[in-house]
């Protein structure tokens, strides 16, 4: 009962955040923006109805996974509405589709242990989606990782990482201290990283590597394997630096962006200016200048949030991601089979790696790589892949002992 009270209290805070933020945006516009309040109502109804369905029919699982993800989605929808109304409307549609997929996974999927035997199906789809960008992708912002099919544009790597996690979980669930069982997964991971290097998608390469070593360590508990992987990855990164001008440019502007502020490092410099302008508490929602920040609805939305809501809100968002990661790892601890446990670890690590890579890049702590901030940035394929992962985490928490 105390858990239910805590969940509902957090839900009320989420509703309050949504209503207050959209009310603020509505008041700033003259005349009063009724559309903002409609967005607030639709968002709250979606979250409330989804929570009711999950709580009503599946009372045993960890509902904080859904609540934390909803809070992050609210922040994203609000900021996108402030930046561009049409983009925000698209995002709420993707949010509705993502939440629907989340619920369907919990309601319709049978026991996840049944899916542990489809190892080579996961492998086939992993290679397929990883190769699509290399073979059919169109270059955008320096990376060749977008594919258009029948007018619908998406990132195949977003789907590929889901299948990669499933494949690694299936391949390593029965690890019994025999090194030979690690050879095939190692080759698959290297092939995936190779595709990402060819596509110049450095962000996805970092995420895939992070996912792989996380699952590897949980499956084997051997630090020497992790150190070996770090050494190999460092060697691959050095070779990529020597071979690709795109990588050299990213490292160059990371080391010192200011000499290239009007050219190569324009994006990162504007991002840092935006974050610095906001300071601790921000300029106020709707009172900043996101028009000066490039790619503000996707890669650099964190900078816009820090400008208008302050670095404190930035820290709050990172804490929310940490709590989401914690709940995912908690589901892994209580899982009653290795496949489910490794799935939970992989999907939790996937979200954590993605957050660390993009937040670190936007703040110039690491070389910038163009990926989305999960649930906050605009993007249909990103929203769907994250909610799919969260749906599986929810399912694992429902099945846990």
pLDDT at 327 over 90: yes
pLDDT at 400: 65
Residues sharing a CB contact under 8 Å with residue 45, sequence separation 6 or more, in sequence order: none
DSSP 120: H
CA nearest 195: which of 208, 186, 184? 208
pLDDT tens-place string over residues 375-391: 999 988 889 999 999 99
CB 190 within 8 A of CB 239: no
Model confidence at 196: pLDDT above 90: no
For residue 37, give both structure tokens. 């309040």
Mean of pLDDT over the chain = 88
Which residue has tokens 């964190």?
302
CA atoms of 333 and 192, how far apart (whole Å): 28
Place of tokens 């909803």: 70
Per-residue pLDDT, 5: 85
Average of pLDDT values for 152-159? 82
Inform me whether the pLDDT recorded for 73 exceeds 60: yes
Range with lowest mean pLDDT among 57-61, 138-142, 168-172 = 138-142
Domain ranges of the chain: 2-108, 116-373
d(CA 382, CA 378): 8
Of 181, 180, 157, residue with least CA distance to 171: 181
- At 216-275, the pLDDT tens digits run 999 988 888 889 888 988 888 888 778 777 778 888 888 888 888 888 888 899 999 999
Cα dist. 190→36, 354, 360 in Å?
47, 19, 24
| Mean pLDDT, rounded, for 64-75 | 95
Q: What percent of the chain has pLDDT over 70?
A: 97
Tell me how far the alpha carbon of residue 287 is from its chain's centroid. 27
- Non-local (6+) Cβ contacts of 17 within 8 A are 71, 74, 75
CB-based contacts of 95: which residues, under 8 Å, 6+ apart? 43, 46, 73, 77, 383
354 alpha carbon, distance to own chain's centre: 5
Average pLDDT over residues 31-48: 93
Give the bridge partners for 143, in sequence order: 140
Q: Taking residues 335-354, what's their average pLDDT?
A: 92
Q: Output the CA angle 303-307-309, nearest 5 degrees.
A: 110
pLDDT at 241: 79
pLDDT score, position 1: 47
Q: What is the DSSP string of 343-368?
A: HHHHHHHHHHHHHHHHHHHHTTSS--
Alpha-carbon distances, residue 250 vs 30, 42, 201, 262, 264 (angstroms): 42, 40, 12, 15, 9
What pLDDT score does 56 carry? 82
């Amino acid at each position: 009962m105390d858990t239910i009270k805590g969940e509902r209290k957090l839900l009320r805070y989420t509703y309050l955040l949504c209503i207050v933020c959209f009310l603020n945006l509505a008041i700033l516009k003259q005349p009063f923006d009724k559309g903002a309040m409609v967005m607030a109502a639709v968002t709250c109804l979606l979250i409330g109805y989804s929570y009711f369905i999950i709580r009503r029919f599946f009372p045993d699982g960890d509902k904080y996974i859904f609540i934390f993800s909803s809070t992050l989605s609210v922040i994203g929808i609000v900021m996108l509405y402030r930046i561009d109304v049409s983009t925000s409307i698209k995002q709420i549609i993707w949010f509705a589709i993502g939440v629907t997929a989340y619920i369907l996974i919990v309601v319709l999927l049978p026991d996840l242990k049944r899916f542990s035997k489809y190892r080579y199906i996961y492998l086939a789809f992993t290679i397929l989606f990883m190769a699509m960008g290399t073979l059919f992708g169109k270059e955008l912002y320096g990376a060749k990782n977008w594919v258009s099919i029948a007018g619908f544009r998406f990132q195949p790597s977003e789907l590929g990482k889901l299948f990669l996690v499933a494949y690694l979980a299936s391949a390593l669930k029965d690890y019994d201290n025999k090194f030979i069982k690690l050879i095939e997964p190692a080759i698959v991971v290297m092939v995936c990283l190779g595709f990402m290097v060819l596509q110049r998608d450095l962000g996805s390469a970092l995420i895939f590597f992070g996912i792989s070593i996380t699952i590897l360590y949980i499956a084997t508990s051997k630090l020497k394997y992790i150190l070996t992987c770090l050494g190999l990855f460092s060697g691959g990164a050095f070779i990529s630096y020597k071979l690709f001008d795109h990588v050299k440019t990213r490292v160059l502007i990371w080391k010192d962006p200011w000499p290239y502020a009007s050219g190569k490092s324009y994006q990162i410099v504007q991002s840092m200016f935006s974050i610095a302008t906001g300071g601790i508490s921000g300029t106020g929602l709707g009172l900043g200048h996101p028009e000066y920040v490039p790619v503000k609805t996707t890669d650099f939305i964190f900078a816009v949030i820090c400008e208008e809501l302050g670095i404190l809100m930035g820290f709050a968002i990172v804490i929310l991601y940490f709590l989401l990661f914690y709940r995912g790892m908690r589901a892994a601890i209580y899982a009653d089979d290795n496949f489910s446990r490794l799935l939970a670890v992989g999907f939790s690590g996937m979200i954590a790696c993605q957050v660390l890579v993009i937040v670190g890049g936007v703040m110039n702590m690491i070389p910038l790589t163009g990926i989305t901030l999960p649930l906050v940035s605009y993007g249909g394929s990103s929203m769907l892949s994250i909610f799919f992962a969260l749906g599986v985490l929810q399912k694992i928490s429902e099945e846990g002992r």
